[in-house]
Copies of this chain bind each other. A is one copy, B any other.
Amino acid sequence: MHDVLQAKPTLETADIAHYMQQLGQSAKAATRVLAHSPTVLKNQALRDIHAALAASRDIILAANAQDMQQGRNSNLETALLDRLELTPARFDGMLQGLHDVIALPDPIGAITDLTYRPSGIQLGKMRVPLGVVGMIYESRPNVTLEAASLAIKSGNAIILRGGSEAFFSNQAIAGCVQTGLKQAGLPETAVQLIQTTNRAAVGELITLVDYVDIIVPRGGRSLIERILREARIPVIKHLDGNCHTFVEKQADLTKAYDICLNAKTHRYGVCNAMETLLIEAAIANEFLPKMAALFLQKGVELRGCPEVCALVAEAKPATEQDWHEEYLAPVLAVKIVCGIDEAITHINHYGSHHTDVILTENYALARQFLAEVDSSSVMVNASSRFADGFEYGLGAEIGISTDKIHARGPVGLEGLTSQKWIVLGSGQIRA
């Protein structure tokens, strides 16, 4: 294991294409075994990975300390350093997440909707793996294990491209994953970590049309946009989370104060945090001043429309850009709207179709909001912070899709699968 503490290998760009082709080929070869491995074998591999990680705890934490040191030396920004750090608690949480994935039902092979057609054939659908997943992510080393464990459980192979800032941590974790796969008798190449920090490797990965079936990028907007431009393979993309909460005039305000405070201040740097608060005019006088005071106590900067600024002295005037903004910071845009239609129009226009919430006790308006807001998660009387693979019971999440195609919202095991049609006949021919 100590080889992870060696210097980062730096492949010549000229060699990258050949290297990535090799990774693709061996990943594809691994799928031929993984796709048809029984649940008990896949779970055994995950348990062996758990054991290997537990046994290498000190080495992994040392590798992470090395990444943290290099990060500080290269003045990595604090938010990234925070995501990069593998505290003992986070390490234990990572291992617990592995237990959660082991406990999930195996989606592969499930046959549904078996029905007889007038022709006499029996038609159904069987769930199957996608094949090879290309995962591109930054900083958080635990993503290495989450992605690997979901890929194994769903019978896929995965090629991992972690951020260079987490190079040693990812090496150490991926090494344990391959040890576990080997012990269980599954191909180590089911999970491969790209062994170079050369950026050209990403360009190769997202164009390996012969070997890679889907690309899952997790990272900043510039990374995602580059991948969308250059990828020749389907991408499950996760763009901004500009999440709204609309406080309708029939909302239970005692709930509203708690939910809005939780949605904004529970964590600032996450994609499911509230970035814009919409308040119906009829209750603004009653609700806004007290709500604003709670935010200001927490040190949240408020940027409001003129009506908001008239009610809250501390609020700064919001610009057009504020309605588009994903702050990921203690800043909140606040707008007073005349009713649900204006709220829905605002959300569908300025929002990022991630997660949006209505607070109301009115049955018809709750149904209208659920139907008409075009977002991957639409909620009634709950904090937007619940839009999360763990809270949704997916065990782990490979990402959160802001796309409509294939997978939407938090993506777990099922997002890494597809369904094929099966036909059970008894000699039928087409008339």
Contact = CB atoms under 8 A, between A and B. Distances in A.
Contact of A36 (B371, B406, B419): B371
Q: Nearest 7 A-B pairs (CB), nearest first?
A: A382-B425, A262-B429, A385-B430, A255-B427, A379-B423, A406-B406, A404-B418
B430 A386 contact: yes
A5 interface: no
Given A255-B427, A391-B119, A405-B406, A376 B420 contact: yes
User: How many monomers of this chain does the complex have?
Assistant: 2
Contacts of A377: 420-423
A393 B429 contact: no
A283 to B, nearest CB: 17
A391 to B, nearest CB: 6
Nearest to A126: B370
Interface string A386-409: 110001110000000001111011
Contacts of A410: 421
A147 interface: no
B213 A427 contact: no
B408 A419 contact: yes
Given A371-B109, A404-B131, A405-B213, A117 B421 contact: no
A104 interface: no
Nearest to A376: B420
Nearest to A233: B405
B429 A259 contact: yes
Contact of A234 (B232, B234, B255, B261): B234
A232 to B, nearest CB: 8
A264 to B, nearest CB: 11
A321 interface: no
